[in-house]
Structure 1
Amino acid sequence: MQVENDQSYDRVLTIATSDSGGGAGVQADLKTISALGCYGMSAFAALTAQNTREVRAIHEVPPEFLKDQIDVVVEDIGVDAVKIGMLFNGELMEAVAESIARHNLQNIVLDPVMVSQSGAKLIKDEAVETLREQLFPLSDVITPNLPEAERLLEYSVESQQQVEEAARDLLEMGPKAVLLKGGHFREDQSTDCLVLDKTDEKTGKDVFWFEAERIQTDNTHGTGCTLSSAIASGLAKGDTLPEAVDKAKVYITGAIKAGSRYSIGSGGGPLHHFHNFWS
């Protein structure tokens, strides 16, 4: 007897780079998307040879092959939200921008990955301008941390009081919203600032602050990848952006707290993406 197909998946495509250690990149994205009840798909922009201590090598894929990966997913399966992670050079960024525009993809979450936790440079200097000019205007939200924001803005953000101003300056670069993450400050709370280009219909606000407990642990590898994928998953399910960020913040706090109890590798370990399922 044939079973009637009466259900559909919420589909999230990650366009990012592989992490051979499994803690960040496409691997972390797919774990997050799955843990949050969505169907994950991937388009690889590059491969890395990395572990908990270092990024030893980066191997880029040809831009045309990146576009092929996006095309076959969109044409057959469909996409409800997109998470964009590490894109090493301008040619890859141009390929992604062209694909997004050609397929009219929606719910674009861009994590502007620039430097790894171990300090390795993950984007070529000349590609930063391409990131700003071609991908920011296509993004529903960008999710930089403080060092990334400072590199994009070319000035220092030295206090919590400057965060909203910096987020508004990033908003002028074209995205519909900016989530500026305050995790690099040393307060007891980890506070992120979301600024929208127009007021949220449900709340009438255009600025939102999200606070969570700061967990003292070295196991924070892949936090940016995880948060952005969690936001994309919420958007794929129909959440508003503030709702998606709020839920993503709860999820990542739980993943960091659970991951802090584990030991893996000799460097900065990963989060526990399936903390809600493992006993």
Structure 2
Amino acid sequence: MANEIPEVLTIAGSDSDGSAGMEADLHSFFMRGAYGTVVLTTAVAGNSYGIHDSVTLPLEFIDHQFDALADDLHIRAAKTGMLANAAMINTVVKNLKKYDFGPLVLDPVIVTIHGALLLEQDAFETLKSDLIPLATLITPNFYEAEHLTNLTLDSDDQIEAAAEILQQMGAKNVMIKGDHTGENRTEVRDFVRLESGKTFWLSDAYHKTDRVNGTGDTLSAVITAEIGKGNSIEDAIRIAKRFVNEAIANEIPVGHQFGPINHWANPIVTPQF
């Protein structure tokens, strides 16, 4: 019977060197035994040295991609990546309301791990008001959580308060990824607050490396794959945390400077259908 295999969706941009964005999502889906589909939003010309050019796809074409997938496939979970502007966010929101693509994992690509803002203010406000309320899970990095909540996350109490604020903004479940900066760091700690009210911290060793491109994309993509396979939000988060830690710990020699994480460090999961 058609569509028995778990089918999941990434709504994201294409990164030409394969290290992040749509490509990292598809690597992750494949490794976790889910069939990956795509709504392409942006095409980026980049490599390990940086991004050199980008093109945003027409909104009408983004609509057509949603239409085509809904007409044929059974998408069981979806995730978002980089959404370039307010108009694109509105288009994605419209289509997510129109079609049932299962639980939504929102990776709010707003601020880099170095604190650089990636969205203009109108797009940021649209993401907060219209997209976050659709999220089954939101996975901001440390700086994105600060920007979204207007808190300075300088203590565990503040991080826990930020997660509660993000739930009040509409996200059912929250995972705030820990700060990766600091010369003497030995671990990375992430905080999770579930819809049930359960909270917990996840900790793994910090690996000092320049090969971390696609870390956030991979984390949210693995979570999406696991949800699409029927796992709980908590189990999906725990699996993704372990997956990403292994992918960072075992470097892969691709590119000359800021390379990708190593998805092959994890065993391939055979699809069950």
User: TM-score, length-normalised on structure 2?
Assistant: 0.91
Cα 1:7–1:264 change in 2 (3 A) is closer
Q: Is the 8 A contact 1:208 1:242 kept in 2?
A: no
| 1:238 aligned partner | 230
Match for 1:188 among 172, 186, 189?
186
- CA distance, structure 1, for counterparts of residue 7 and residue 21 of structure 2: 18
Deviates more, 1:244-253 or 1:114-123: 114-123
Does 1:79 find its partner at 2:72? Answer: no
- CA distance, structure 1, for counterparts of residue 149 and residue 219 of structure 2: 22
Structure 1 runs (4+) deviating above 4 angstroms are: 116-121
Match for 1:62 among 54, 58, 62?
58
Does 1:108 find its partner at 2:98? Answer: no
Q: Is the 8 A contact 1:192 1:209 kept in 2?
A: yes
Q: Secondary structure at the match of 1:43?
A: strand
Q: Secondary structure at the match of 2:121?
A: coil
Deviations 1:226-262 (A, max 9, x none): 0000000110011110110000111111111122xx3
5+ residue gaps, structure 2, are 269-273
- CA distance, structure 2, for counterparts of residue 185 and residue 240 of structure 1: 31
Q: Is the 8 A contact 1:54 1:120 kept in 2?
A: no
Q: Is the 8 A contact 2:112 2:118 kept in 1?
A: yes
Amino-acid identity (%) = 35
| 2:203 aligned partner | 211
- CA distance, structure 2, for counterparts of residue 48 and residue 198 of structure 1: 39
Give the drift of 1:52.
1.5
Give the drift of 1:122.
3.3
Cα 1:227–1:78 change in 2 (3 A) is same
Q: Is the 8 A contact 1:117 1:221 kept in 2?
A: no
Aligned length: 266
- CA distance, structure 1, for counterparts of residue 115 and residue 55 of structure 2: 18
1:1-279 pair list within 5 angstroms: 5=1, 8-116=4-112, 121-184=117-180, 186=182, 187-199=185-197, 206-259=198-251, 262-277=252-267
Deviates more, 1:28-37 or 1:114-123: 114-123
